[in-house]
Amino acid sequence: MASPLFESPFAASAAEIWIDAFEERCQRMSPCFVQVQTRQRAQAYVRGLLSPVERKNGWQLAEVAGETTPSAMQYLLDRAMWDSEQLRDVLCRYVEEMLGESTAVLVIDETGFLKKGTKSVGVQRQYSGTAGRIENCQLGVFLTYASQAGHTLLDRALYLPKSWTQDAARCREAHVPAEVSFATKPELAARMLTRTLDAGLNAAWVTGDTVSGSHRPLRAVLEARQQAYALAVPRREQVQVQGEQTPRRVDQVARGLPADGWQRLSAGSRSKGPRLFDWSRVQLVDAELSIAGWQHWLVIRRSITSGAKPAAMAYVLVFARTGTTLADMVQAIGTRWTVEQCLEEAKGQVGLDEYEVRSWQGWYRHITLCMLAHAFLTVLRAQSQAAVPLSDAPEEKKQEQSSTPHSLSRTLDAFKRTRGLTVR
């Protein structure tokens, strides 16, 4: 495109830096594309995802690229020769280089994509946490990376229900590879975690919701790698407390805790202040796996209430090095919400849920390109915040930088609005 990628009322040098960053990002993508035309089309697609157009579908992205029909964009997602798995690996290295640090957290979660009809790969009536009810939708499992610099999407997997894997003709029509078989959402999460950790991207913790936390094989995979985790479990999960002979449900363990067995700690900050809860932990028996220097814990979170309303409880299984404090565990647990922000940002800013493809390959290609666009914006924000010394920054920026690294005031939308950035 002839027009600049970024326009800003601020210094031209800043805009030039951002343009250079996009070009550098495109150079990283280049080895994934054999043909020059395909590479240029992918760059135009990402540019369109970064643009302010209301919808990021084929027609809109084609218009941003100056094309009269969406056929070229559709070809990119469907029949063009390139590997979205290779591009995901490029993304992983980019995130590690730009945002990586030893205290980072890997977070697992899923999201729903509402769809009409029965042709879109993986679609069926199923529960979507995004909608909060059963809907006709696709489900994607996502892995995100959260560090002090920022948090972004890192890996993805489309959940293929048995209604699909048991229907070979339906899978062929959606171009699902023959080797793909049914896998639960925790199994998909375990594959992504293994792939990421094998690639050398280190993290201090892995966190996830009750879908992943209640899956013993996933926990076993992390324990075998001596990878610390803090995974939520439902109240019916059974554990064996140190010194007891029989397992009990986690909610029963919580009810038996003494009144002075709680600590009030912050799980991070939000726009209105610290996210305070009462916390307690109980050491568990390491019956199935005992590793020197590591321990299992049950951590209980209790909401702060007043009046007659009962306190809400949440339960987390923790595997961590001996000597890890409760405060350290709470900070890791508190990072889990960043995946929700990443998914919300990716949908709102780069069109994660606005695709019109039906095939397996089309889904993975669109999602991966969106993840690249989201990571690019996240890195830009991190570099922008680091570029101005706090003592020299305007008051608005001082307030922003004094908040916690993952506060809601630092969303990508806020970043773009406060900087006067438009992308086109």
The tens digit of pLDDT for each residue in 27-63 reads 899 999 999 999 999 999 999 999 888 889 888 999 9
pLDDT at residue 132, as a whole number: 86
Alpha helices in 166-214 (DSSP H): 168-173, 185-198, 210-213
Q: Supply the pLDDT for residue 251.
A: 97
Mean pLDDT in residue range 185-206: 96
What's the CA dihedral at 74, 79, 85, 89 to 10 degrees?
A: -60
Residue 269 clears pLDDT 90, i.e. is over it: no
Q: How confident is the model at residue 85 (pLDDT cuts 50, 70, 90)?
A: very high
How far is C-alpha 82 from the geometric centre of its chain's CA atoms? 24
HSE-up of residue 389 (Cα within 13 Å, Cβ side): 2
Rounded Cα distance between 327 and 325, Å, is 5
User: In sequence order, what are the residues at sequence separation of 6 or more whose Cβ sits closer than 8 angstroms to the Cβ of residue 254?
Assistant: 280, 300, 302, 313, 315
What pLDDT is stored for residue 130 in this prediction?
81
Helix (H) or strand (E) holding 316: strand 313-321
For 280, the enclosing helix (H) or strand (E) is strand 273-283
DSSP letter (8 states) at residue 317: E
Q: Residue 310: pLDDT above 70? A: yes
Arithmetic mean of pLDDT, 341-353: 94
Place of tokens 């990021």: 56
Q: Pick from 183, 92, 78: which is nearest to 145 by CA?
A: 92
pLDDT at site 25 = 83
Give alpha helix (H) positions in 30-158. 36-50, 58-64, 71-78, 84-99
**Average pLDDT score over the chain:** 87
pLDDT one-digit tens code per residue, 131-168:
889 999 999 999 999 999 999 999 999 999 999 999 99
Give the predicted TM-score (pTM) of the model.
Answer: 0.88
- What 3-state DSSP class applies to 106? strand
pLDDT attached to residue 54: 84
pLDDT at 287: 59
Helix (H) or strand (E) holding 128: strand 124-128
Residues 233, 298: Cα–Cα separation, whole Å = 10
Position 410, amino acid: R
More confident residue, 25 or 95: 95
Instruction: Give tens-digit pLDDT for 209-257.
Output: 999 999 999 999 999 999 999 999 999 999 999 999 899 999 999 999 9
Strand partners, 127: 134
Pairwise CA distance, residues 73 & 80, whole Å: 10
Predicted confidence at residue 268, as pLDDT, reads 84
Is residue 202 within 8 Å of 219, Cβ to Cβ? no
* CA-closest candidate to residue 297, choices 219, 374, 367: 219
pLDDT at 412: 63
For residue range 366-401, what is the model confidence (pLDDT) as tens digits? Answer: 999 999 999 999 998 888 776 544 344 444 443 444
pLDDT of residue 418: 55
Residue 323: pLDDT over 70: yes
How far apart CA 143 and CA 386 sit, in angstroms, is 25
Q: Strand pairing partners for 206?
A: 106, 229
